[in-house]
Amino acid sequence: MEFYLKCSLKTSANPAAAKAAVETIMNQAETGLLAKGAPAGEGAKIKSWSLDDNRIHIELTSGKHVRVHDALMRLKKSISEALGKEKIGVRGVEVEKFTIVVSSAHDLKNKTIPYVKSVFFDEIQKILCLELDVGEAEMKNQVPDRILTLIEDKLEQGDYGAKAEHWNLLWESEDRPFSYTADPTEDMLKLGWLKRGSGRGQWIHGPVSTKLFRTFEKIVVDEILNPLGYNEMIFPKMVMWDIWKHSGHAKGIYPEIYYVCPPKTRDPAYWEDVMDYYKVTKEVPVELIKTKIGDPIGGMCYAQCPPCWGFFQGETISKDSLPIAVFDRSGTSHRYESGGIHGIERVDEFHRIELVWIGTKEQVVETTQKLHERYMHIFNDILDLKWRKAWVTPWFMAQEGIAGIAADEVTGTTDYEAPLPYRGKDGEWLEFQNVSINGDKYPSGFNVKCQTGEQLWSGCSGVGLERWTATFLAQHGLDPDNWPAEFKKRFGEMPKIVKFL
């Protein structure tokens, strides 16, 4: 990897008066200024420098240590001091050429990258040459470093063939016969348990399917949350960009967010023309409305746990408060899912119980283990499911568009999956929930510290109620007489169904 920078420092007057001082700085730089922080001999190098009547021209090269833009800032600081003594000021930096060369087996697919003027792939030398379009501000703000990281991620994604999901079987329950093999959503519609909402991937749950959701929720409360001491919180459901910047979601969830825009003003007079248009035409003037709403402030709840970190952000948590175990079930999550008509197993608006636990690495690993044990009890002894667990790409990496698995063998996501008999013997299994150890990602992302100074870790688990319902009914059918006794007794009486004529 090689960085190259050709630039000049603009001076308020002819720098000739300080030539000797500049010469000394340049001569000592490679063993001093530009070597600091780099392994021996791997600092930045000065390829050339010269003075003219109001500029100091500099050419720099570097490897990945003391990169040329950092090297320039160091030189600029020291030259400014020297020029200052001659009452000459440095008036900024002009970049003539900034290139980064990295070795690469193949070209980049998408070459439009912010602040990148051109991308050239040399097939023979197997190198990728990037020409950047950056100024002093971008160099100070480490934009070249982020561009390099982005390129390395893209090249790696290319190797994985985009999003190759990682999947390793951990455990599978006993096989069991399935007496019911129809699509539960179809039968729920026929029986009037639910109806499609008017929104894409949206459902209206009648009393029966709602009671199913609430029974699953009650099982989670009675079998997990109360016994393990989880306290309920209410996480915000409209998520601001700032949260997703800290959680990492701002790197990759744009294709699936339901965006939220505020009105430009709440003054009714401003909206009168919209109201009049509707009253006269009975049509909502969407084009007109688009001119009257502000920029998106964020989006509807997507991963459910990120907004809870606003509660801990910037704090130091006392040792005796750890481990923290909380959950949220205060509202819906929204994802602009893939097209096509799905049953309730894949919806745009869904209901999830999100568990979050925070502590030292040991506490988080122990809490996670206890959770897996409780889920094992629920799925085997109460819901009597056929199901399995698999170690997969951590959910937070997948949501940042990164494939592969986490660095250490502890951080990662366990997907809970079940077969849906109506999909047939080789049908795709459905992920009905997951449990993740998220490592230090969120405490670091939100700057949350522990009184003892140990690195905080966290975990989370998303219980999808549509997914539990789809799985449970797909395997047991809609007739309560065929439901496992342990579930049936918790469900109780079937609610009165609204009859449509």
Ligand X SMILES: Nc1ncnc2c1ncn2[C@@H]1O[C@H](COS(=O)(=O)NC(=O)[C@@H](N)CO)[C@@H](O)[C@H]1O
Q: What is the largest CA-CA distance in the chain?
A: 97
Is 287 a residue of the active site?
no
Q: Which of 7, 305, 308, 450 is catalytic?
A: 305
Joined tokens for residue 38: 């780099």
Is 431 a residue of the active site?
yes
**List of residues 6+ apart from 340 with CB closer than 8 A:** none
| 205 is an interface residue for ligand X by CB under 6 A | no
Q: Which of 130, 305, 383, 392 binds ligand X (CB under 6 A)?
A: 305
Joined tokens for residue 83: 């020029």
Taking the complex as a whole, how short is the minimal distance between the CB of residue 460 and ligand X, in angstroms? Answer: 5
Is 428 a residue of the active site?
no
Annotate 106-168 with DSSP letters as a single string: S--S----TTEEEEEEETTTTEEEEEE---HHHHHTTHHHHHHHHHHHHHHHHHHTS----EE
Is 450 a residue of the active site?
no
| 346 is an interface residue for ligand X by CB under 6 A | yes
Is 388 a residue of the active site?
no
Beta strands in 377-481 (DSSP E): 388-392, 412-418, 430-437, 449-450, 457-464
Q: Which of 72, 460, 473, 478 binds Zn ion (CB under 5 A)?
A: 460
Span of 290-298, 328-336, 457-465, 469-477 interacting with Zn ion by CB under 5 A:
457-465
Taking the complex as a whole, how short is the minimal distance between the CB of residue 355 and Zn ion, in angstroms? Answer: 8
Q: Which of 147, 194, 224, 460 binds ligand X (CB under 6 A)?
A: 460
The 385-424 contact track toward ligand X, x by CB under 6 A, reads ----------x-----------------------------
Q: Which of 7, 431, 438, 466 is catalytic?
A: 431
Residue that has been written with the tokens 């070795």 in this structure: 103
3-state secondary structure 179-244: CCCCCHHHHHHHCCCEEECCCCCCEEECHHHHHHHHHHHHHHHHHHHCCCCCEECCCCCEEEHHHH
Is 346 a residue of the active site?
yes
The site partner of 328 among Zn ion, ligand X, none (C-beta below 5 to 8 Å per kind) is none
Taking the complex as a whole, how short is the minimal distance between the CB of residue 235 and ligand X, in angstroms? Answer: 11
* Residue 426, CA atoms < 13 Å, CB-side half-sphere: 0
Q: Cα separation of 245 and 252, whole Å? A: 10
**Cβ distance to ligand X smaller for residue 44 or 418:** 418
The 289-308 contact track toward Zn ion, x by CB under 5 A, reads ----------------x---
| 247 is an interface residue for ligand X by CB under 6 A | no
Is 335 a residue of the active site?
yes
Residue that has been written with the tokens 């910037």 in this structure: 314
**List of residues 6+ apart from 272 with CB closer than 8 A:** none
Taking the complex as a whole, how short is the minimal distance between the CB of residue 437 and Zn ion, in angstroms? Answer: 11
Q: Which of 67, 329, 467, 476 binds ligand X (CB under 6 A)?
A: 467
| 235 is an interface residue for ligand X by CB under 6 A | no
Is 486 a residue of the active site?
no
Q: Which of 352, 417, 460, 466 is catalytic?
A: 460
Q: Which of 248, 394, 462, 477 binds ligand X (CB under 6 A)?
A: 462
Q: Cα separation of 186 and 182, whole Å? A: 8
Q: Which of 166, 249, 335, 441 binds ligand X (CB under 6 A)?
A: 335
Q: Which of 59, 301, 434, 450 is catalytic?
A: 434
Q: Cα separation of 37 and 43, whole Å? A: 8
Q: Cα separation of 419 and 377, whole Å? A: 19
**7, 93 contact by CB (below 8 A):** yes
By the criterion CB under 5 A, which residues form the site for Zn ion? 305, 460
Q: Which residues are catalytic?
A: 305, 335, 337, 346, 354, 415, 431, 434, 460, 467
By the criterion CB under 6 A, which residues form the site for ligand X? 303-305, 335, 337, 346-347, 350, 352, 354, 395, 431-434, 460, 462, 464, 466-467
